[in-house]
Structure 1
Amino acid sequence: MSDIPAARKTLVTLQFLGMGLIWGASFLFMKVALGGVTFGQVAWSRLILGGLTLGLIVLISRPRVNGGPVLPREPVVWLHFVVIAISGCVIPHLLFAWAEQYVSSSLASIYNAVTPITTALMATLAFRVEKLGRGQVLGVLIGIIGVVVIIGPWQYAAVTGDLWGQLACLGAATCYGFTFGYTRKFLSGRPITGTTFAFLNIGLAGAIMLVLTPVIALHPVRLDLPVVLSLLTLGTLGTGFAYIWNINVLRAWGPTNASTVTYVTPVVGVVLGVLVLAETLSWHEPLGALLVLFGILLTQKRLRLPSRNVAAREAVRTG
């Protein structure tokens, strides 16, 4: 990040904050939209609208890298984009929308904060594009403990819709972690503009949703102004412009740092859920969220354990 010009750093930071605000509010919009459409229609509409938005931007701006083609020509690149369209859009969007039938928007936004933990695991163990130090390993472990506290297994004598909803949120966060690592390994270094990158990601996911329309979207709807506005905002902003910013941040900061947008999203999600929908949280959910945040800070090296040499010197000095 030190080689990035100051103006570019500021722009990337603003894009990062914009992502956090829009994606944090998306959990509220999903909950509102579910009042008039099915969970499949929520995911379907946001990807279709997002793909159309990004397609128009690409059509008008014609972004290129060094005079090259607007769209990549290598078949393997398109295959990689199909993978992240499924893992980073189709599956997690369906999982979060389905989960919010059973859990609050506040709780869903908290689970989204697990993404840096799953990203660290995927980037390190699955794709080997990053390495974890002992402090980061501790952070991952604390984050996992935080997830267990959020779930609160002591509450469940049997499997319930609420529990399945929480597991679906956790599955979505795992999909995001996989996508961050996969993108860094196979795509982020290629000469593709951020706008084109976002369009291919969302556009291909929208195309997949079109194929799945008979299964996912052909159900009765009950539209009113809040439902329509929620779907439009989810599609054009949350699944449109925000994805351009996401690619820019990913390339500038790397997958683990880019995933820390989830510091912002749960705060926005919880505040909106409480203020707009009058949602409440049980004591263990914010406690678990704090453990996850502490784990993320260690994983992202925002907090560091004292090195062994420093600890040894301190022991000698005090001894």
Structure 2
Amino acid sequence: MSTANLFRLILLASIWGGSFLFMRIAAPVLGPAVLIEYRVVFAALFLAAIALLMKKPLDWKRHWKHYVILGFFNSALPFLLFAWSARTLSASVLAVLNATAPMWGALIGAVWQRQMVSARVLLGIVLGTAGVALLVGFDHVSSREGAGLAIAAALFASFNYGIASTYARAAPAVEPFANAHGSMWTAALLVLPSLLFFPAPGEPTAGIMAAAVALGVLCSGVAYLLYYGLIRDVGATSALTVTFISPLFGILWGALFLQEVVGWYTVAGAAIVIAGTALVTGYRPNFGARAKPA
């Protein structure tokens, strides 16, 4: 992997790790529904501008059902669940719980295909479960009121990412950028009804709105462009490295900007979850290999 691509990979990991920081800042004031509606609308508008510049129209008539399914399981529902959990949990805990998504994907894929998981995948799932248990068992946020439900909601959010990845493998072949663009618009429509049940509990300040804009434009719009660009240039396997790096940035940003406590259990739990994720995905880094032409 070239220096430029390595920089893009680290930048992407830092952006996705930062999404939990922005949710932790804005969710208590805007509430989960308002925050996520802002997120997906800002992301959709940003991607629409890029699509206009790149002359990439969406084939709504042909793929609208695909965009609805992807928008629900890969954006609307998990975003809402993470934002709801962010009112209680720390950014570092959210970032580590998010890293369990590949494990859920492996389990869902095995059930869907009616196949037994391999010993390696099973070991990865056991490690991931142990890492989560260590993290939430020792972290002081677990003692907060409603923490149990918040942890369950965050894990269910990751479970939905697993559903989305399983669906995507059998879904119609659609250009990755179109998937991101179309799913953001359908997510914006799907999140709308939740505004009736979760109005904003407070008045947003300029800083809160800046966090909401950053969550949409930076953590969804720009992040998608970086991610799919990496897949094109270095291949999906190397791009997958972001899964292992982003929790580290989630922990770092929480400690730097929110003064979250990083204990031995945070580092150990994150390391075990990342190791489990690597086993489940069968990841083997090969940065020296040249990417195949797109």
Q: TM-score range by the shorter chain?
A: 0.7 to 0.9
Q: Is the 8 A contact 2:85 2:150 kept in 1?
A: yes
C-alpha separation in 2, matches of 1:241 and 1:18:
10
SS of 1:44 mapped into structure 2: helix
Q: Is the Cα–Cα contact under 8 Å of residues 127 and 185 in structure 1 kept in the other structure?
A: no
TM-score (norm 2): 0.82
Q: Unmatched 5+ residue regions in structure 2?
A: 285-294
CA positional deviation for 1:35: 4.8
Matched, 1:57 2:64: no
| Match 1:93 to one of 76, 79, 83 | 79
Q: How many residues align?
A: 284
Please give the alpha-carbon distance, in whole angstroms, between the structure 2 residues aligned to 1:45 and 1:137.
Answer: 38
Corresponding residue number in structure 2 for 1:197: 179
Q: Does residue 173 in structure 1 map to residue 155 in structure 2? A: no
Q: TM-score normalized by structure 1? A: 0.76
Report the CA distance shift for 1:207/1:223 in structure 2 as closer, same or farther (over 3 A): same
What does residue 59 of structure 2 align with? 72
**Cα distance in 1 for residues equivalent to 2:124 and 2:187:** 33
Identity of aligned residues (%): 26
Aligned AA (2:89): V
Instruction: Name the amino acid aligned to 1:152.
Output: G
How much is the aligned-residue C-alpha RMSD, in angstroms?
A: 3.4
After TM superposition, give the deviation of residue 103 of structure 1 in Å.
1.0
Q: 1:17 aligns with which of 10, 17, 21?
A: 10
For 1:42 and 1:73, locate their aligned partners in 2 and report how far apart those are by CA, in whole Å: 26
Alpha-carbon offset, residue 49 of structure 1 = 0.8
Unaligned runs of 5+ in 1: 1-5, 64-69, 304-319
Match among 208, 211, 223 for residue 230 of structure 1: 211
Q: 1:235 Cα deviation (Å)?
A: 0.8
Distance of aligned partners of 1:220 and 1:273 in 2 relative to their CA distance in 1, 3 Å threshold: closer
Aligned to 1:66: none
SS of 2:30's partner is coil
**Alignment partner of 2:29: what SS?**
coil
CA-to-partner distance for each residue in 1:267-304, whole Å, 9 max, x for gaps? 1111111111111145434332222122122223347x
Question: Which amino acid is 1:117 matched to?
Answer: M
Q: For 1:293, give the aligned amino acid.
A: I
Give, in whole Å, the separation in 2 of the partners of 1:229 and 1:159.
27
Query: Which residue number corresponds to residue 141 of structure 1?
Result: 126
Of the structure 1 ranges 261-270 and 294-303, higher mean CA displacement relative to structure 2 is found in 294-303
